[in-house]
Amino acid sequence: MGKQRTFLPYAVLGLGTLGAVFRAWFLLSRDARGLPLPNHPGDILTWAAAVVCLAVILLGLRGMQDERQHHVLFPPALLPGIATFSAAVGLAVTEIPLLLSGGDAFSWISGFLGMLAAVAMIPLGVCRIQGKRPAFLPLLLVNVYFLFQPVWQYRQWMWSSQLQVYAIPLIASVLLMLAAYHRSALFAGVGSRRSYVFFSLAAGLFCLLAIPGQRLAFYLTMALWMLTGTGSLALEPEQGDAP
């Protein structure tokens, strides 16, 4: 069963991309006032793809055993490290304009925390490539940023009167926060492997769905980071002998 789980990131990538195409169709369809059409087929198909994908994730994680040995779950790997570096770039591209915009305090705080998190992701990427356990401070900085993100984003979503427009970015931000928390807990040796994998894949899914319409660099790099950062899905505890 463990080896069969290795298909999950690819399933999320496929269904998430399909859902993003449907959502782009929905967002491009406007009424006379310039607002997205209610009950549009693209919106319905987007949520259908999300529900199917979440069901696939849950079915794929059935029977997964909790494993907390870092060297077993996170062996040296190049692609997850590169994805972490790309997430750092995505954060910097997204947050530097806020930091330099001269806007209100919330925008400045978001930009400042985003830059701290982007810098913190560099040692996280190095540790992922080397298969080492990361230090506490970089994990803390990333968690603080994702904890603040829904607060700042809420102010942007208040300006939209249509729930179907901002619901997916809202869910993506909350799932990123939960995935970052469970990742840190697992690195500390106290988290749940199943919860971490679920929230990482779910966050990757909704980041893909959120790409059409806004913050392309942010959601694209976050999706890549989440989908490549699940750790080893093929190994079960009984296979996890120390190297």
Tens digit of each residue's pLDDT (9 = 90 or more) over 114-133:
999 999 999 999 999 998 98
What pLDDT is attached to residue 74?
A: 83
User: Crossing angle for the helix pair 216-228 and 78-100, nearest 10 degrees?
Assistant: 150
pTM of the model: 0.89
Question: CB within 8 A of 96, min separation 6: which ones?
Answer: 111, 115
Cα separation, 108 vs 100, whole angstroms: 8
The residue to which tokens 């040296």 are assigned? 76
What pLDDT is attached to residue 63?
A: 78
Helix ranges (DSSP H) in the chain? 8-28, 41-60, 70-73, 78-100, 105-130, 136-157, 163-187, 193-210, 216-228
Residue 81's pLDDT band (cuts 50, 70, 90): very high
Q: What is the 3-state secondary structure (H, E, C) of 120-140?
A: HHHHHHHHHHHCCCCCHHHHH
Cα separation, 80 vs 233, whole angstroms: 13
Cα separation, 111 vs 222, whole angstroms: 16
What pLDDT is attached to residue 160?
A: 59
**Can you say whether the dihedral through the CA atoms of 7, 11, 13, 14 is positive or negative?**
positive
Q: Is the pLDDT of residue 91 over 80?
A: yes
What pLDDT is attached to residue 3?
A: 58
